[in-house]
Amino acid sequence: MHIHNVRGQLFEAAERVLLRGGPDALTSRAVTEEANCAKGVLHRHFTDFDAFLTELVLERIRDIEDRTTTLCAAAGTKSVVDNLTDALQDLFEPVTVAIVALVTFRDGLRARLREAGLTGIPLVVQGTALIAAYLTAERESGRLAGDADIDTLAPTLVGAGHLLFADRTSAPPQAATLRTMVATVIAGALPPPRS
């Protein structure tokens, strides 16, 4: 295992274990076996397993935050409903859903994340900020009503989206189901059609 890529390989291994077996299956031994390395490798790079998991969550948070610019740049393209549907599908891909379950499962991890300054449910909070930034851009472009309540719409979309994706044992929701939910939530925020 190349030393410069150890963290990435361990994170990828953890994600595979988490997807396959859920939070119960995620142990340092399972991760190092999946990464095909000695258990000591993980502990050379992280003080303990919760420190490793904290970095895994923080890495995923950075990925979500990095998407904000791209999503906001989509404002004014396609339809608002289509952009939000795509963004929620991207946000709630299987690893993110599994990590949200992991955060709720592990008390030690939640404590570490609070120490890192995170509040609420990590990934869900950042996903809400992502959607809020996009909705704000669409409101500023005039494709949402000027009085659209972004502070209500964003968490409603993310919460409903998470409920649709949360059952990791079932197939993800159909795009049409997600689109219908998005269209229903934002219906009152769309400006009236021009006559």
Report yes or no on 55 lying in a domain: no
Joined tokens for residue 49: 């397993």
139 and 109 in one domain?
yes
Terminus-to-terminus CA distance in the chain, angstroms? 64
Give me Rg for the CA atoms of the chain: 19
Report yes or no on 141 lying in a domain: yes
Joined tokens for residue 165: 């994706």
66 and 26 in one domain?
no
158 and 132 in one domain?
yes
pLDDT the model gives residue 4: 52
173 and 79 in one domain?
yes
115 and 34 in one domain?
no
Q: How many CB atoms lie within 10 A of CB 45?
A: 14
Contacts of 124 (CB under 8 A, 6+ apart): 100, 158, 159, 162
pTM of the shown model: 0.91
85 and 30 in one domain?
no
**What are the angstrom distances between the C-alpha of 182 and each of 72, 90, 192?**
17, 14, 17
pLDDT tens across the length of the chain (195 residues): 444 588 899 999 999 999 999 899 999 999 999 999 988 899 898 999 999 999 999 999 999 999 999 999 999 999 999 999 999 999 999 999 999 999 999 999 999 999 999 999 999 999 999 999 999 999 999 999 999 999 999 999 999 999 999 987 788 899 999 999 999 999 999 987 765
The 8-class DSSP code of residue 187 comes to: G
Burial group, residue 138, by CB count within 10 angstroms (0-12, 13-18, 19+): buried
pLDDT the model gives residue 161: 96
Rounded Cα distance, 161 and 47, in Å: 35
Query: With the CA atoms of 115, 117, 118 and 119 taken in that order, what torsion angle do they form, in degrees rounded to the nearest 10?
Result: 90
Alpha helices in the chain (DSSP H): 6-21, 28-35, 39-45, 49-73, 80-91, 94-105, 107-115, 124-141, 150-165, 175-186
Q: Are 126 and 61 in contact (CB under 8 A)?
A: yes
Question: Could you tell me the residue range of the domain that residue 82 belongs to?
Answer: 60-189
169 and 94 in one domain?
yes
181 and 97 in one domain?
yes
32 and 71 in one domain?
no
115 and 40 in one domain?
no
| CATH number of the domain encompassing residue 174 | 1.10.357
Q: Are 157 and 186 in contact (CB under 8 A)?
A: yes
Report yes or no on 51 lying in a domain: no
Report yes or no on 194 lying in a domain: no
Put residue 178 in one of left, alpha, beta given phi > 0 → left and psi -120 to 50 → alpha.
alpha
